[in-house]
Amino acid sequence: MTVGMTVDLLRNSQLKFGAITFFAKQHKGDTCGSNGLPLTPNSIIIIGRAQFLKTINSPFLCEFLDVIRGKHERTIVVSQYCGTPLANLVEKHTFSHLQIKKIAYQILQGLSLLHSLKIVHRCLSNENILLQDNDNIKLFNYGLYYMTDNGALVPFPVLDVLYTAPEVYLNGPNSCYPDPKVDIWSSGICLAELALNKSLWSSLNLGQRIRKILSLLQVNSSIFEKIAREHNCYETYLNLPQDLKEIIELCLNIYPSKRPTCNELLSNSYFNDFKLENDERDRKPWRSFDIFTIKELYHWWQLTGGDVYQELKKQGLIRSSPPILSLPSLVLIEGSLLGQERNPATLYDPRIVQMPLDMLYQRFAHISLPAFYPLIHCKSEIISNADPPPYDATGLPLVIKEKDPEYQFHRIILFRRLLHGYPFTKDLIIEEAQKDIPPLLRGEIWAALLNVNSLYKMDYLRLDKYSHTTTDRQIEVDIPRCHQYNELLSSTEGHKKLKRILKAWVYKNAQYVYWQGLDSLTAPFLYLNFNDEAKAFACLSNFVPKFLHKFFLKDNAVIIEEYLWKFSQLIAFHDPELANHLHEINFYPQLFAIPWFLTLFSHVFPLYKILHLWDKLLLCDSSFPLHIGLSILTQLRDKLLTSGFNECILLFSDLPEVDIEKCVLSSMQTYTSTPKSITNREYENELFHQKNELDITGVKIEDLKKELCPRISPNDVIDFVRHRPEKALFIDIRNPTLFLRCSLKDSINIPFSSVSFSEKLLGNLGPHCNLVKSKGDKVVVVIGNSDTDLERFPKFLLQCNVSRVCVLHGGFNVLIPVTPTVLQSGMPT
Amino acid sequence: MANRTAQRPNGQTQGKICQFKLVLLGESAVGKSSLVLRFVKGQFHEYQESTIGAAFLTQTICLDDTTVKFEIWDTAGQERYHSLAPMYYRGAQAAIVVYDITNQDTFGRAKTWVKELQRQASPNIVIALAGNKQDLANKRVVEYEEAQSYADENGLLFMETSAKTAMNVNDIFLAIAKKLPKNEQNTGQAGNAQGRRLTEGDTGPKATGNCCK
């Protein structure tokens, strides 16, 4: 396993990328849309549209990687960029006829895919056809016209003068009709250059070139022949094979309607040689698995300090000019500016900057080859010992881990494999997700954790997302205020997608209705699956029953009431002092926690915090949000304890900075240390919480709301007695006669009737009061029966600031039939 | 947030302190939260998030020799949250019912709220009607006169406001403050009423200005 091999894997000639940059059109002045909101900046619309390009994958297209927004509508597009532009080879290299045929075939293959996706290249030229080491070609920059909404969002025409079809000039370069036929013309010119091995009209200036192209409209004979003659290449032209000439001729038809489509050209017998090869590829039942792709490489490159913006700056593509130079001469009262000189930078700059990868190669040079092939299932010790020791990042804060290139390398390599094996690797995915979730793959990992199945696309397709409903107005006013600081969610595409998902959800869940907040809840899923709306929908669809069962019923009052009451009980359980204070100042969760739980904090926190919170939430059950709520209160505890009602509620109307990692840790801590039944709810989803007669069922909301301390199930009590008796203190409050006859093992007896509740003094408990005082973090289980008051006693303990007090559900008698018995009789020894 | 005791800048002894509970009602996205934010913090957010449940804020203004402290309950606009509304307007001495002048339906909804308040809220409640988004007057569909005459018929205060440009925002709260009875009943009510100033003086310029007249 040599070091060199590792770098070879990374140092693949096709795993390279570059960037171009341009300005999007600026909105004039302070303009508002019809809804009174500011117009979406064009660069944001571009970002939204460009996301789709990331999904396109073809051997003949450079993979689209990223689009970044700078100041003043600057837009940077990052894409795979490798090989040599054909333009650099024309006149310097002789192309064999076979080679030209192959290039023609691959150009058309690439275009055919684009056209089938309703994308028109529009600036196809020999500059952006890249010849690879293996003699194949890749088209570059094919997304510009599409992402700029057919050129409407940029201040320059999207075309390459020489290669542009004459009808484009006739319609005016700003006409926004995306006709795929223009690409066929451009291919014709590209091929003509290769066939004649001549850069066409290279000595002419811009205007003359356009005139030349328009002059072709007058030609009645062969356009290709005319071009050849003009360039003194008639000889070469005559020597070309007839079928090549024919193909070029077909492309260069001045009538777009008569120009063939890609697929018509591809079916030409000229390309017969390649068709077999193609069929072969199509016959494979599944796509091969890549250990990693250029997308991951780009991600790692960024983590090793790669910065596209800086590279462009270094190469002089981004230059800042002093702001004083951009002052207008005149500003009209309604805000329009006059007399600003047009910044030449707003024109299109075709330069491409290749991103240097040396940093990445160096940083990853020592990674051994087996690290690319992590063992997942391994029974043999010898083999597993041969695996390199895992990269140790334990103990590092999450944000550091997420920025550590090497750690992310290992995590991504591993998770890609696990996700490839999903659903069979579900258990392993859960296990690994418990450590942490690599941000690059978060969308897919979440989908796996939420059990999204392979049919999700079909499911989504079937749902009506367009018919008008009464909910539309509400959805429409909510979307433009939902996480709008995020570029994707504030883009026009983002708005459309969110609307469709919400409408589909409302359509599919007839038993539920749209509550404000559902938009925020959907936002993280859309953000992570921006290019897979169906998956975002599937995640939401599986998420709601698991965590928000019945919360979106038209009448959800009782569900929310119960949830909030359980929240109060959980506070009382873990932090009686705080609970007593909040109670005293009448500061109830109803007043502040509804948006917390209804949207699982997605309405309260910014996206990056929600992602970390939900990374853990998805691994827990529907009681976890209660613990998150508790941990938020805990973080603000000191402030709350010294504040009155007004201060407290003001604190929450503008939630102060919450340290989310701390929050996650402390919620995990209380979540794991709290017996499950403490947060038991009547309205939880039975699918996820199966119960038997020794669990808690049938607690009415009216009864619940009398109880300040939570109930504990007989199951959890039995578990304590049998496995962890040292973790609990059982207080039997029945009268001594009953207690002596039969009691729970290790329980103590503080008869209810012996305690005076008038003062809040633990001493009133009698001889056992020291046991209670020194109980530490033991759970205090109050056990009574139907004759004892099960509200006053625990309330008394709570008021004396005793933590972890709970009441055995069903009373002492439910323990009698348990076998093997957990009871004893007579005085404990 | 600044949290000081309300002493007059010149150190003069404090006059009467009145505390009032005020609730904002109205269809969603008419600008309730924006009005409050403008009044309390002097800010405006184009993409003000929707309110779920309700939000609570306070603001203190000076009116002659009286310090009026508003406890403002900003409610969720969506019809579904209606069931929560009584919890918020119960015991409120004042209400601002907001509609959007560019949307007729929101005006209809405002009328429904007024009716509900007249029926269910405390009988002496002071109700103000606010036609918000006045900055979009070129897209107006609810005529000023129409709203004014409706307000007159129902004994409501009425103003067209703009949370974006701050037009009439302080004024409407001030008008309410003037109309509220400032008898002993309201002084020192509800919790700790040692009249706190919750924002810096310059965020509510008009209110502060009036106080020093």
The mean per-residue pLDDT over the stretch A784-790 comes to 82
Residue-level length of chain A: 829
CATH assignment of the domain containing A199: 1.10.510.10
The predicted structure's pLDDT at residue B196: 35
Predicted confidence band at A174 (pLDDT cuts at 50, 70, 90)? low
pLDDT reading at A402 higher than 70? yes
Q: What is the pTM of this model?
A: 0.91
Q: Rounded distance, CA A784 to CA B104, Å?
A: 61
The mean per-residue pLDDT over the stretch A622-648 comes to 94
Together in a domain, A274 and A297? no
Q: Rounded distance, CA A219 to CA A142, Å?
A: 30
The predicted structure's pLDDT at residue A653: 78
Distances in whole angstroms, Cα of residue A732 to Cα of each of A18, A321, A478, A713, A785: 73, 80, 53, 15, 9
pLDDT reading at A53 higher than 70? yes
Cα Rg of chain B (Å, integer):
16
The predicted structure's pLDDT at residue A345: 67
Chain A environment of B83 (Cβ under 8 Å): 555, 557
The predicted structure's pLDDT at residue B5: 41
Find how far residue A10's CA is from the centre of its chain: 26
Residue A749 pairs in a beta bridge with: A732
The predicted structure's pLDDT at residue A195: 94
Predicted confidence band at A384 (pLDDT cuts at 50, 70, 90)? confident
B181-186 contacts at long range (C-beta below 8 A, 24 or more positions apart):
B181/B124, B182/B16, B182/B18, B182/B66, B182/B68, B186/B18, B186/B19, B186/B20, B186/B93
| Percent of residues, chain A, with pLDDT higher than 90 | 72
For residues A395 and B155, the model is more confident at B155
Q: Rounded distance, CA A637 to CA A578, Å?
A: 7
Give residues with Cβ within 8 angstroms of A276, minimum separation 6. Answer: none
Together in a domain, A215 and A294? no
User: Phi and psi dihedrals of A80, rounded to 5?
Assistant: -55, 135
Residue A78 pairs in a beta bridge with: A19, A66
Predicted confidence band at A787 (pLDDT cuts at 50, 70, 90)? confident
Q: Rounded distance, CA A21 to CA A351, Å?
A: 8
The mean per-residue pLDDT over the stretch A273-299 comes to 78
Range of the domain at A606: 557-679
Mean pLDDT, all residues of chain A: 91
Q: Rounded distance, CA A344 to CA A349, Å?
A: 10
Together in a domain, A139 and A278? yes
Together in a domain, A527 and A608? no
Together in a domain, A786 and A760? yes
The predicted structure's pLDDT at residue A281: 62
Angle at A810 between CA A809 and CA A814, to 5 degrees: 115
CATH assignment of the domain containing A799: 3.40.250.10
User: Which of A517, A547, A577 marks a domain boundary?
Assistant: A547
Using the Cβ of A39 and the Cβ atoms of chain B, whether some distance falls under 8 Å is answered with no
Together in a domain, A278 and A138? yes
Using the Cβ of B5 and the Cβ atoms of chain A, whether some distance falls under 8 Å is answered with no
Predicted confidence band at A339 (pLDDT cuts at 50, 70, 90)? confident
A521 in Cβ contact with A602 (< 8 Å): yes
Among A95, A60, A58, A71, which Cα is nearest to A23's?
A71
The predicted structure's pLDDT at residue A36: 74
Domains within chain B, CATH numbers bracketed: 16-179 (3.40.50.300)
- Residue A391: inside a domain: no
Distances in whole angstroms, Cα of residue B94 to Cα of each of A279, A472, A587, A824, B173: 76, 32, 22, 64, 10
CB atoms within 10 A of CB A339: 9
- Residue A684: inside a domain: no
Q: Rounded distance, CA B104 to CA B162, Å?
A: 17
- Residue A416: inside a domain: no
pLDDT reading at A822 higher than 60? yes
Identify from A27, A610, A636, A646 which residue to disrupt to test chain B contact, counting B C-beta atoms within 10 A and taking the largest count. Answer: A646
- Residue A532: inside a domain: yes
Q: Which H or E element spans position A17?
A: strand A17-23
Location of structure tokens 């077999």: A276
b or e along A427-461 (b: 16 or more beta carbons within 10 Å of the residue's beta carbon)? ebbeebbeebbbbbbbbbbbbbbbebeeebeebbe
Location of structure tokens 């109700």: B127
The distance of A373 to chain B (nearest Cα, Å) reads 46
User: Phi and psi dihedrals of B131, rounded to 5?
Assistant: -90, 100
Q: How many domains does chain A have?
A: 5
- Residue A376: inside a domain: no
Amino acid making up residue B195: G
Q: What is the 3-state secondary structure (H, E, C) of chain B?
A: CCCEECCCCCCCCCCEEEEEEEEEECCCCCCHHHHHHHHHHCCCCCCCCCCCCEEEEEEEEEECCEEEEEEEEEECCCHHHHHHHHHHHCCCCEEEEEEECCCHHHHHHHHHHHHHHHHHCCCCCEEEEEEECHHHHHHCCCCHHHHHHHHHHHCCEEEECECCCCECHHHHHHHHHHHCCCCHHHECCCCCCCCEECCCHHHCHHHHHHHCC
Q: Is A808 helix (H, G, I), strand (E, B) or coil?
A: strand
Together in a domain, A811 and A714? yes
Distance between terminal CA atoms of chain A?
Answer: 67
Predicted confidence band at A826 (pLDDT cuts at 50, 70, 90)? confident
Chain B environment of A598 (Cβ under 8 Å): 52-53
Mean pLDDT in consecutive groups of 10 residues from the start of chain B, 213 residues: 42 72 94 95 91 89 89 90 81 95 95 94 93 93 96 96 95 94 58 36 34 36
Q: Which of A34, A474, A595 sits opposite B52 (nearest CB)?
A: A595
Chain B environment of A585 (Cβ under 8 Å): 191
CB atoms within 10 A of CB A93: 13
The predicted structure's pLDDT at residue B209: 35
Predicted complex ipTM = 0.83
Angle at B199 between CA B195 and CA B202, to 5 degrees: 120
Sign of CA dihedral B138, B139, B141, B146: negative
The predicted structure's pLDDT at residue A173: 64
The predicted structure's pLDDT at residue A633: 96
Predicted confidence band at A136 (pLDDT cuts at 50, 70, 90)? very high
Contact map slice: B 8-47 vs A, CB within 8 A: 28-29, 46-47
Predicted confidence band at A275 (pLDDT cuts at 50, 70, 90)? confident
Together in a domain, A91 and A227? yes
Location of structure tokens 């997420």: A402
The predicted structure's pLDDT at residue B54: 86
Q: How many CA atoms lie within 13 A of A272 on its CB side?
A: 3
The predicted structure's pLDDT at residue A5: 63
pLDDT tens for A206-227 read 899 999 999 998 888 889 999 9
- Residue A428: inside a domain: no
Location of structure tokens 């308040």: B117
Identify from B52, B70, B164 which residue to disrupt to test chain A contact, counting A C-beta atoms within 10 A and taking the largest count. Answer: B52
Q: Is A11 helix (H, G, I), strand (E, B) or coil?
A: coil
Identify from A40, A653, A657 which residue to disrupt to test chain B contact, counting B C-beta atoms within 10 A and taking the largest count. Answer: A653
Together in a domain, A540 and A561? no
Predicted confidence band at A651 (pLDDT cuts at 50, 70, 90)? confident
User: Which of A492, A519, A547 marks a domain boundary?
Assistant: A547
CATH assignment of the domain containing A483: 1.10.8.270
pLDDT tens for A720-729 read 999 999 999 9
Together in a domain, A20 and A143? no
Distances in whole angstroms, Cα of residue A557 to Cα of each of A12, A146, B24, B103: 60, 47, 21, 30
Together in a domain, A137 and A267? yes
The predicted structure's pLDDT at residue B142: 96
Q: Rounded distance, CA A135 to CA A126, Å?
A: 15
Together in a domain, A149 and A207? yes
Among A815, A818, A626, A588, which Cα is nearest to A710's?
A626
- Which structure tokens are listed for A561? 């009431």
Q: Would you call B78 and A516 a contact, using CB atoms and an 8 Å cutoff?
A: yes
Q: Rounded distance, CA A106 to CA A136, Å?
A: 8
- Residue A636: inside a domain: yes
Q: Is A292 helix (H, G, I), strand (E, B) or coil?
A: coil
pLDDT tens for A592-616 read 999 999 999 999 999 999 999 999 9
